[in-house]
């Protein structure tokens, strides 16, 4: 009975969350203002914005695919793209990026614990890119330099700590999250996959993609 309940929750909770998000967005969106704003755009501008949005999600999908390869998870790009996009509604929630590992397992059979490091690595890559852009902007504009330097230094120290395996213990907290049940061996593999991403072979390329996004 307990296992049946778990399977039921794993199957239907993400769907319910997605439906609730859509209802909230549709119900609370200021459609009157949206209509006025759209009326000010010509067709060319709207098509350009749609195109840029498609490029944005395409780059994020490609980065996710290469991130998996860095962790020695080799799956076809088209299957990874389906799993990545299908998890998009739930990924808007706190820690929702973890659900991408659930969808990846659903479409490819890759165990959740194998791809779970993508959750922290995507955060590190995007946080590092934002910190670098903030630092460059602060130095160029001559304002907020100290906070920018502190943030960039913090991200750098965090990358060093992860690459040396200092934060493996924190991974055990992930067992409290939905769809996650990591053994001690899995946690050690988790740390190894972090280190695989944070190498000179993969980090510059993945970081460059994060800057583009």
For residue 94, the model assigns a pLDDT of 65
Residues 195 and 118 in one domain: yes
Residues 36-61: pLDDT tens digits?
A: 887 888 888 889 999 999 999 999 99
Q: Which residues of the chain have pLDDT under 50?
A: none
| CB-count burial class (<10 Å; 0-12, 13-18, 19+) for 62 | middle
**Residue 103 maps to a domain:** yes
Global pTM value: 0.80
Residues 67 and 136 in one domain: yes
**Residue 96 maps to a domain:** yes
| Number of domains into which the chain is organized | 2
**Residue 46 maps to a domain:** no
Domain membership of residue 27 as a residue range: 1-40
Q: How far is CA 130 from CA 82, 87, 149, 190, in A?
A: 27, 23, 12, 25
Neighbours of 184 (CB within 10 A): 9
Identify the three-state secondary structure at position 74: coil
Residues 108 and 134 in one domain: yes
Residues 164 and 61 in one domain: yes
Residues 197 and 139 in one domain: yes
**Residue 45 maps to a domain:** no
């Amino acid at each position: 009975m307990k296992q049946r309940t778990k399977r039921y929750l794993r199957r239907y909770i993400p769907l319910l969350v997605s439906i609730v998000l859509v209802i909230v967005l549709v119900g609370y969106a200021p459609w009157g203002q949206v209509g006025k704003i759209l009326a000010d755009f010509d067709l060319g501008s709207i098509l350009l914005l749609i195109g840029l949005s498609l490029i944005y999600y395409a780059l994020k999908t490609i980065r996710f695919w290469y991130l998996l390869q860095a962790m020695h998870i080799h799956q076809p790009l088209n299957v990874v793209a389906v799993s990545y996009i299908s998890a998009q509604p739930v990924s808007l929630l706190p820690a929702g990026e973890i659900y991408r590992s659930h969808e990846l397992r659903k479409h490819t059979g890759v165990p959740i614990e194998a791809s779970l490091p993508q959750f922290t690595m995507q955060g590190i890559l995007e946080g590092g890119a934002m910190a670098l852009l903030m630092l460059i902007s602060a130095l160029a504009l001559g304002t907020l330099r100290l906070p920018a330097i502190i943030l960039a230094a913090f991200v750098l120290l965090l990358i060093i700590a992860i690459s040396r395996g200092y934060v493996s213990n924190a991974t055990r907290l992930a067992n409290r999250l939905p769809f996650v049940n990591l053994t001690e061996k899995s946690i050690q593999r988790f740390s190894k996959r972090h280190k695989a991403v944070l190498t000179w072979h993969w980090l510059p390329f993945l970081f460059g993609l994060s800057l583009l996004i």
